[in-house]
A and B are shown apart, each in its own frame.
Chain A
Amino acid sequence: MDFVNIFLKTAFVENLVLAYFLGMCSYLAVSKTVKTAFGLGLAVIFVLGITMPINWLINTYLLGENGVFGTDLTFLRFILFIAVIASMVQLVEMIVEKYSPSLYTALGIFLPLITVNCAILGGSLFMVSREYNFTESLAFGLGGGFGGFLAIIAIAAIREKIRYSNVPPALRGLGMAFILTGLMGIAFMSLMGIDPAAFSAN
C-alpha cells in the first residue's frame, strides 16, 4: 500500500516540477510541442525510475556506516549519485539514438542535459533526507517521473494553444511560459496537504 501512496503523493500532491520547481530547464526548453515533450517525459520517467533505487542501494550499502566499508562516506554522495545518473543518461541516449533517430534529433542537447535535470538529483537527495526504504524509493522515483511527465505534457499543450492568442510581443514564448508555470504551480498547490494514506485507511 505504501508503494501506491508514495506514487500518488509524488505524482500529484508533491509534484517535483510544479510544487518544488525542480527540473525547470529542460521543462521550459523542450515544451514547445507536445511530441518532443512526450519523448522527454518518457526519458525522465525512465531515468528517475532506474536511478532512484540504484542510488538508494549505493547510499545504504556503500556510503552508510553499516555498509561494505564500515565508515561514514557520505561526503562522496554527490559524486557517486551524479555518476550513476550520468551513466544512466548515456544509456538512454544510446537507446533513443538507435530506436528513434527523429526523437534523438528533436531532443538534441536536452537529452544529455537530463543528467543535470535537477529533478533527478533532487529526487535522490530528497530520498536520502526523507529516509525512504527500497520500495518507497522506487515508488518515489516512478511517481516523480510520472508527475514530471504530466507537468511537461500539460505545459506543452497550453503553449501550443497559446500561440493563437494575442500575447504582447515581448512576453511571447519564454515570458508567457514562466507565468503559465506559476499559475499551474498555484493550481497544484491546492493539492498540497492531501494525504493519500488517509483515503486508503478508510
Chain B
Amino acid sequence: MAETIVKEQVKDKEPLFGKKERQLLSDPLNDNNPITVQVLGICSALAVTSLVYPSLVMAVAVVFVTAFSALFTSLLRNYIPKQVRLIVQLVIIATLVTVVELTLKYLNYPVYKQLSVYIGLIITNCIVMGRLEAFSMANKPWRSFLDGLGNGVGYGVILVMVAIIREIFGKGTLFAGSPIELALIGPSADYFINTTTNTWFSWYSNNNLMVLPAAAMFIIGVMIWIQRSYNTKLVDVS
C-alpha cells in the first residue's frame, strides 16, 4: 500500500522537461500538425498568407493565444461546469484576442489594418478551441501550456512556409514591408528580392495564381501529399 502511494507521488512530480513534455512540444510539428493532420485553423492560413510579414505577426499572435488560453483553461478546469464550458472557454480566448488586437493596433498599425478581421478571427480559429476541448480540460496547467505552445508553433510554421512560397512566386518579393527587410537592406532599397528590378531575376514574371487564396489550398494540399508520402502512418485508409 505504501509503495503505491509513493509511486503516485513520484508520478505526480512531473519533470519540467521530461520525455512527455518534449513530445508535447514536438508532436504538433509533424505527426500531429494542427493544419496538415488535425485540419484545424485553416481559414486564417489561407487568408493572410499572401505576404510573409503579416503571416509572421499572425503566427506570433496565434502562439500567444493558444499557449495562454490553454494555461488559463487548465487552471480553471475544475471550476467550469460542463454545460457552459464552451462559453467560458470562448470568453478566455476572446479576452486574450482583444489584448492581442489592441497591442498590435498600438505597435504596428499598418499590419493591423492589413490583417483586419482576421485577428478577430483567431477567436474562432478551431485550433485554439480544439486543443482546449481535447487537452487542456483534462490536463495540468504546465502540460497544457506546452501543448498550446507546440500547437501554436506547428500552426505558425505551416503558415510562414505557405506565405514564403506564395510571396516569392506571386509577388517576387520576400519579407516585403517588414523590419527584417529594413534591417538587411536599409530604408532606401525597396525589396529584399525584387524580380521586377533585380537584373538576375528579370526573366521571371509573377504568377498571379499564387496571389489568389485558392493557391494556399493547392500548396497545403501538396504539403499534405509530401508529408504523407514520408509519414505513411498518416495516410487516410477510408
Residues of A within 8 A of B214 (CB): 181-183, 185-186, 189
The one of B39, B43, B102, B228 that contacts A122, using a Cβ cutoff of 8 Å = B43
Q: Which residues of A contact B238 (CB under 8 A)?
A: 32, 173
Q: Is B225 an interface residue (CB 8 A)?
A: yes
Q: B-facing mask of A74-99, CB < 8 A → 1, else 0?
A: 01001100110011011000000000
Q: Across the interface, do A125 and B218 meet the contact criterion of CB distance under 8 Å?
A: no
Tell yes or no: A68 within 8 A of B by CB.
no
Q: In the complex, A24 Cα to B235 Cα: how many Å?
A: 21
A122 contact set on B, CB distance < 8 A = 43, 117, 121, 124
Complexed CA–CA distance, A171 and B221 (Å): 8
Interface-centre pick from A22, A83, A172 (highest chain B CB count, 10 A) = A22
Interface code A122-137, partner B: CB below 8 Å = 1, 0 otherwise?
1001100100000000
Which of A23, A25, A86, A182 makes the CB contact (< 8 A) with B39? Answer: A25
**B224 lies within 8 A of chain A by Cβ:** yes
Contact B90 A86 (CB under 8 A): yes
Q: Which residue of chain A is the closest to B229 with respect to CB atoms?
A: A170
| CB atoms of B121 and A170 under 8 A apart | no
A117 and B125 alpha carbons, distance in the complex (Å) = 8
Stretch at the interface among A108-116, A145-153, A193-201: A108-116
A174 within 8 Å of B (CB atoms): yes
Chain B, residues 17-56, CB within 8 Å of chain A (1/0): the string is 0000000000000000000100111111011000000000
Is A175 located at the chain interface by the 8 A CB criterion?
A: yes
Contact with A along B94-117 (1 / 0, CB 8 A): 110110011000000000000011
Bound form: Cα–Cα A189–B217 in Å = 14
Evaluate whether A186 and B42 lie within 8 angstroms (CB atoms) in the complex, with A172-B235, A175-B221 already known.
no
Chain A residues near B76: list those with CB within 8 A: none
On whether the beta carbons of B224 and A175 are closer than 8 Å, the reply is yes
Are B87's CB and A117's CB within 8 A? no
CA distance A19 to B95 in the complex (A): 29
A46 CB contacts on chain B under 8 angstroms = none
Give CA–CA (A182, B166) in the complex, Å. 14
Most buried by B among A20, A115, A116: A116
B174 interfacial contact with A, CB 8 Å = no
For the complex, give the distance between the alpha carbons of A25 and B43 in Å.
8
Chain A contacts for B217, CB-based, 8 A = 21, 178-179, 181-182, 185
The reply to whether B90 and A24 contact each other, CB–CB distance below 8 Å, is no
- Is the CB–CB distance between A78 and B42 below 8 Å? no
Bound together, the chains give a CA A34 to CA B95 distance in angstroms of: 37
Also in contact, A79 and B42, with CB within 8 A (given A113-B130, A121-B124): no
Does A118 lie at the interface of the complex (its beta carbon under 8 Å from any beta carbon of B)?
Answer: yes
- Report yes or no: B221 in contact with A179, Cβ–Cβ below 8 A: yes
Complex Cα–Cα for A87 and B90 (A) = 11
Is A176 interfacial (CB 8 A cutoff)? yes
Q: Which of A89, A129, A175 contacts B116 (CB 8 A)?
A: A129
Complex: chain B residue closest to A114, CB-CB:
B124
A75-B98, A78-B120 as given contacts; A174 in contact with B40, CB under 8 Å: no
Excluding A178-B218, A178-B224, 16 further A-B contacts by CB distance (< 8 Å) are A21-B216, A25-B40, A25-B126, A79-B91, A82-B94, A82-B123, A90-B86, A113-B130, A115-B124, A116-B125, A121-B120, A125-B120, A169-B235, A174-B224, A174-B236, A175-B222
Q: Which residues of A contact B (CB under 8 A)?
A: 19-26, 28-29, 32, 75, 78-79, 82-83, 86-87, 89-90, 109, 112-113, 115-118, 120-122, 125-126, 129, 168-179, 181-183, 185-186, 189
Q: List 19 A-B contacts (CB under 8 A).
A: A20-B47, A21-B47, A21-B213, A21-B216, A24-B46, A25-B126, A75-B102, A79-B95, A118-B43, A126-B117, A169-B228, A170-B235, A171-B221, A172-B236, A175-B221, A176-B221, A178-B217, A182-B214, A183-B214
